[in-house]
Structure 1
Amino acid sequence: MEALRLILLYVHLIGFALLLGGSIAQYVSGRLRINAAMLWGAVIQLLTGVGLSAPLRDGDEPAPAKLVTKFVIAVLIFVMVFFSRKRADVNRGHFLAIVGLTLVNAAVAVFWR
């Protein structure tokens, strides 16, 4: 089961890289829109996050409050990305909220013990 958890964690990190990297690339380009990397990153983050929250370890599961917090943030990111994907331009505040929530979700993962 440890191998499965590590594979899920690896794919989860790839999803994070796609989501954050895609958003930074769009921000630097000057045209704020949702690209395919952001959409796939949000989907991968949500699916692998659910998989990682399953009790695959022996007694070393994260706190339920942490899991719920990360899940709610991931759903918010996914909804914001999914429903804005066909717009020609996304509002600056909306776009920066996606980036900010992505960074907050990573901070919860790292700093909440």
Structure 2
Amino acid sequence: MNGMETLRDIVLIVHLVGFAVLFGAWVVEVFNGKRGITRVMHWGLAIAAVAGLALAAPWGIEGDLNYAKIGTKLVILIVIGALLGIGAGRQRKTGSVPPAVFWSIGILTLANASIAVIW
């Protein structure tokens, strides 16, 4: 294993940690009964997004980039970001997040992390 492969593996771990932060914050909200959008969720999304974009760059190591996987994960990431924005706006305005928005964030986050690992 060369240095670039090691660096890519570290970035992959950071990417998964970003999803873990987002999903973990979401799970905390599920179990505390508030079901709201938190700043930690936004940070987790940002970490996952930045690391994911870094992973989508050509690293000069063997193997081709899986553009279908990258595109799918990017679309899901954008939808999660939109849902976080919508949920945070509703939360500021009404004091609560619509259940469909809240549950979609958790489901899509789990799906995106699963795609990262399984595909």
TM normalised by structure 1 equals 0.88
For residues 48 and 97 of structure 2, the distance between their equivalents in structure 1, rounded to whole angstroms, comes to 21
Question: Could you tell me which residue of structure 1 aligns to residue 48 of structure 2?
Answer: 45
1:80 aligns with 2:87: no
Equivalent runs, 1:9-88 vs 2, <5 Å: 9-86=12-89, 87=91, 88=95
1:101 aligns with 2:108: yes
Larger Rg: 2
Question: Could you tell me which residue of structure 1 aligns to residue 96 of structure 2?
Answer: 89
1:5 aligns with 2:12: no
- Return the structure number with greater helix share: 2
After TM superposition, the runs of 4+ consecutive aligned structure 1 residues lying more than 3 A away are none
The gaps in structure 2 that reach 5 residues or longer are none
The answer (yes or no) to whether the contact 2:16–2:113 under 8 Å persists in 1 is: no
Q: How many residues align?
A: 112
For residues 110 and 16 of structure 1, the distance between their equivalents in structure 2, rounded to whole angstroms, comes to 11
The amino acid across from 2:43 in the alignment is: W
The amino acid across from 2:31 in the alignment is: V
Q: Deviations over 1:7-51 (max 9, x none)?
A: 311221221111000000001111111012111001111111011
TM normalised by structure 2 equals 0.84
The gaps in structure 1 that reach 5 residues or longer are none
For residues 12 and 118 of structure 2, the distance between their equivalents in structure 1, rounded to whole angstroms, comes to 17
Q: Shift of the alpha carbon at 1:75? A: 1.1
After superposing the two structures, state which structure 1 stretch, 99-108 or 55-64, moved more.
55-64
The amino acid across from 1:98 in the alignment is: I
